[in-house]
A and B are shown apart, each in its own frame.
Chain A
Amino acid sequence: MPARSRDVLAGKLPISLITGFLGSGKTTLLKRLLRDPGMNRAAVIINELGEVGIDHELVANSSESMTLLSNGCLCCSVRTDLQETLRELFIKRRAGEVIDFDRVFIETTGLADPVPVLHTLQTDGMLGAQYRLDCVITLVDAVNGLRNLDDTPEAAKQAAVADRIVITKSDIAPPGAVAALEARLERMNPYAARRLAVNGEVDVAFLRDVGPRSTRAATADLDRWLSPSGEPPPAEGAYLGERVRAGVHDASIRSFCLWFDKPFTWDSFSAAVQVLTSLRGSDLLRVKGLVNVAGEPGPVLVQGAQHVFHPPVTLEAWGSEDRRSRIVFITRNLSRESIESLFAAVGTLSAPQG
């Protein structure tokens, strides 16, 4: 029986954010993506149209800021800012002035901190109504990646908030570099799936349909969003990580998943999140999870970055027996224990007092 009310997630256009430090191979990946037959209705927003050097024979039509490729892919450069570009794209799409693209890939500049971009997608009312973040894809190159993670806070943040990590240049990296990088990334962000890509060769399917895209989604699908193995997300990054010498910057970045056996009341959950965001919002790089809220038919999907959380979305049903709340935190200078104790304290206070 089809539902008689709306699936608020299915109605939104997915956005994949492509980040990666300078020289990590974003342009090569984009070139590859733009030629992929599976990209026949995608819009790609890049920094410089000229930069990706689209083959002339691929270009079906072009203007100063937009190019339509013969495979149907729409390529446009960021105009004044990303917010404006996304708004304009949606308005033109609705008016039939551009193809009715079904997803958006956004290239961020190499030096960009991706967290403010996530923030923008959450705070802009129109963008929030029409688009949803599908995933953050971070490119890390096997030659310089490890050093960048050490030396540059932006590079570390990019890897930390990723849902998907693409390791590039493994073919020209010194022996052992890929393994060292993988170990480091596993420790920083065990919740992102990783792939190697040489010359941008990566399966497009790996880069899309990652985030929750239906309120009727199965819990197993959501676990795949929270954890690359498809298993419920592990409580902690790999133990190995603790023995690896931490870099100067990313030593402070932690990722962990908190599990809660008992259902929350919405009031107690939101109270804990409010305390957390008001005191330490800037240190919450990313939060994503499924929360068991008493009285709701399915898990409540929560997503946030820094001080701002997306409006929570209640899914229609639990797809599995395991109904524990699971929340992945990527934080800076903020320990697992302090967040755990915050939730515990709020839980104690909100429980009926005898």
Chain B
Amino acid sequence: MAQSLPGMKPRPDKALSLNMKLLSHHELAGFGGIGEGMGMQLAKDGRRILWMAHESAPKNFTAVDVTDPKNPKLVVQTELPHAKVRSNSLDVVGDVMAVAYQTSAVDTKPAGFDMFDISTPESPKLISHFDASGKHSRGVHAVWFVDGEYIHMASGAADFQPTHPSDDQFYRIIDVRKPSKPVEVGRWWMPGTRVGDSVPPPARHPKFDSGFRAHNTNVFPQRPDRAYIGYISGGAVVLDIADKSRPKLVSRWHYSPPYTGFTHTVLPLFGPELLIVSDECTYTDGKDWPKLVWVVDARMETNLVPISTCPLPPVQTFASNGGRFGAHNLHENLPVPGSWRSESIIVGTFFGGGVRAFDVSNPYRPEEIAYYVPPTPKLSKAGSIQLNDVYVDDRGLVFTVDRFAGGLYVLEMTV
């Protein structure tokens, strides 16, 4: 039984919920550690297949049939060639899937991304591999692939020597209109992060130096000439990509220090003219608290103004459970069939804080409207659940994954 005594510690072995109901839980055949790549395929045979990239080796990606959300079924689970590579990120457009590969050390292969034909979900067929390995490159950390034509990604490159080893992954645009032959069409990096730049390298964060590099690189059909990039130590970056071969800086919102760095996702809400910016918590036990989801007024894109943050539950309670506690991935309103899209409800994962939904219809006062915090998975090395990523489908079902062991949780949101 959960406890209720004043002064007693919370019990991370019990689920907590508000307006989210667990429909099913799938441990993914014992490999329940998922990264930050989730995509839904509406297969031609009518099935809904959820594709997930693993957080680390040995598994590459796993597909689960979630047509019946109460009865998810494993479709396929694939292997990585070795343990020094992780896939971490993937995206699905129709029957084509892009999967990222990042290595733990530079100059290691495979580092880049694969294109797969997943028209038969049980047997994904490799279409091509894009090599991004190099003497100073760890390959690709995150891909954004939503239009079937271009992959926007955080990647190193053979010809790119960073001024600091942590600044190796920058923004690259790859034309995959011919999926068998991906070709780079443009790139942007923060001035000063490449050897030979005319400006000096940026000043490092004194305490939480995570690197001036790209993380999520989002482009939406509503603004095909803009890329919204979480640039980790560099803050939130908006680029003009009207000419893909020459991306230009539009604006940068830089808030660390004094904050603790690691800008992860920049999600534009075009109707209300907001940017929802999420940090990533990367330290355990609350050491890098606060890691937040910010609401930024973007009416004037050259003057981004933060106006509020999404309220999180007390750090004293959750940080002491073990593992990380703070912001991470958001459901990114993917402009693909099957994805839920909302301009007022933001759904995100917060590691030990579970999956949480916020109403930002009053952007000055976001409200927490739903959450689910699963109990600590049995085999987890952290002391609590570590929800890593979330995908909301157009049925309003919330799919969320644990970073280490818990696998997939399927939830119904009742707000």
Q: Spell out A's residues near B (CB within 8 Å).
A: 1-7, 10-11, 60-61, 63, 65-68, 70, 72, 74, 76, 92-100, 129
- Report the bound CA distance from A132 to B4 in whole Å: 23
Q: Which residues of A contact B307 (CB under 8 A)?
A: none
- Closest A-chain residue to B341, C-beta based? A4
Question: Which residues in B have some Cβ–Cβ distance to A below 8 Å?
Answer: 1-6, 8, 10-12, 14-19, 313-314, 317-318, 340-345, 359, 361, 367, 369-370, 373, 394-396, 414-415
- Which partner residue on chain A sits nearest B353 by CB separation? A96
Q: Among the interface residues A72, A74, A76, A97, which one has the most CB atoms of the partner chain B within 10 A?
A: A97
- Of A11, A60, A70, the contact of B415 (CB 8 Å cutoff): A11
Report yes or no: A4 in contact with B343, Cβ–Cβ below 8 A. yes
Distance (whole angstroms) from the CB of A41 to the closest CB of chain B: 9
**Shortest CB–CB separation between residue A170 and chain B, in angstroms?**
36
Known: A4-B345, A5-B345, A129-B367. A97 touches B8 (CB 8 A): yes
Query: Among the listed A3, A5, A60, A96, which residue makes an inter-chain contact with B16, where contact means beta carbons less than 8 Å apart?
Result: A96
Residues of A within 8 A of B19 (CB): 10-11
**Chain B residue nearest to A92 in the complex (CB):** B4
C-alpha spacing A95/B313, complex, angstroms: 6
> How many contacts A-B (CB < 8 Å)?
90
Q: Which residue of A lies closest to B370 (CB)?
A: A11
Contacting residues, chain A, for B2 (C-beta < 8 A): 68, 96, 98-99
- Chain A residues in 8 Å Cβ range of B3: 61, 68, 97-98
Q: Nearest Cβ in chain A — how far from B350, in angstroms?
A: 13
A5, A74, A95: the one within 8 Å of B314 (CB): A95
Residues of B contacting A97 with CB < 8 Å?
3-4, 8, 10, 317
Q: Can you name 29 A-B residue pairings with CB atoms under 8 Å?
A: A2-B394, A4-B341, A4-B343, A4-B345, A5-B342, A5-B345, A5-B361, A6-B415, A10-B414, A10-B415, A11-B369, A61-B5, A65-B6, A68-B2, A74-B4, A93-B16, A93-B18, A95-B10, A96-B318, A96-B373, A97-B3, A97-B10, A98-B3, A98-B4, A99-B4, A99-B14, A100-B15, A100-B17, A100-B18
Known: A63-B5, A65-B6, A99-B4. 20 other contacts (CB 8 A): A2-B394, A3-B396, A4-B343, A5-B344, A5-B361, A6-B345, A6-B415, A10-B415, A11-B19, A60-B1, A61-B1, A68-B1, A68-B4, A74-B4, A93-B18, A94-B18, A96-B373, A98-B2, A99-B14, A100-B18
List residues of chain A with CB within 8 A of the CB of B361. 5-6
- Shortest CB-to-CB span from B188 to chain A, Å, is 32
CB within 8 Å for A63 and B367 given contacts A4-B344, A100-B16:
no
Whether the Cβ atoms of A61 and B415 lie closer than 8 Å is: no
For B11, list chain A residues within 8 Å (CB).
Answer: 96
> Which residue of chain A has the shortest Cβ distance to B1 in the bound complex?
A60
Contact of B1 among A63, A66, A72, A76 (CB under 8 A): A72
A10 CA to B345 CA, complexed, in Å:
14
Which residues in B have their C-beta under 8 angstroms from that of A11? 18-19, 359, 369-370, 415
Asked if B4 and A63 make an inter-chain contact with CB atoms under 8 angstroms apart, the answer reads yes
Q: Report the minimum CB–CB distance from B328 to chain A (whole Å).
A: 19
Task: Name the distance in Å between B411's Cβ and chain A's nearest Cβ.
Answer: 13
A-side contacts of B14, CB under 8 Å: 96, 99
In this complex, which of B1, B4, B6, B367 has the most chain A Cβ atoms within 10 angstroms of its Cβ?
A: B4
Q: Which residues of B contact A100 (CB under 8 A)?
A: 15-18
Q: Which residues of A contact B342 (CB under 8 A)?
A: 4-5
Q: Which A residues are in CB contact (< 8 Å) with B317?
A: 95-97
Pair A6/B4 contact, Cβ less than 8 Å? no
The CA-CA distance from A5 to B342 in the complex, in Å, is: 7
Write the nearest CB–CB distance from A277 to chain B, whole angstroms.
26
B17 partner residues in chain A, CB cutoff 8 A:
100
Partner of A6, one of B15, B359, B373: B359
Contact residues in A for B318 (Cβ distance below 8 Å): 96
Interface centre among B3, B359, B394 (most CB of A within 10 A): B3
B31 to chain A, nearest CB (A): 28
Tell me the complex Cα distance, A85–B64, Å: 44
Instruction: Across the A-B interface, give the 6 residue pairs with the lowest CB-CB distance, nearest first.
Output: A2-B396, A96-B10, A60-B1, A4-B342, A95-B317, A98-B4
The answer to whether B415 touches A4, judged by C-beta atoms less than 8 angstroms apart, is no
Complex interface: chain A residues within 8 A of B340 (CB): 2, 4
Q: Tell me the complex Cα distance, A298–B286, Å.
A: 46
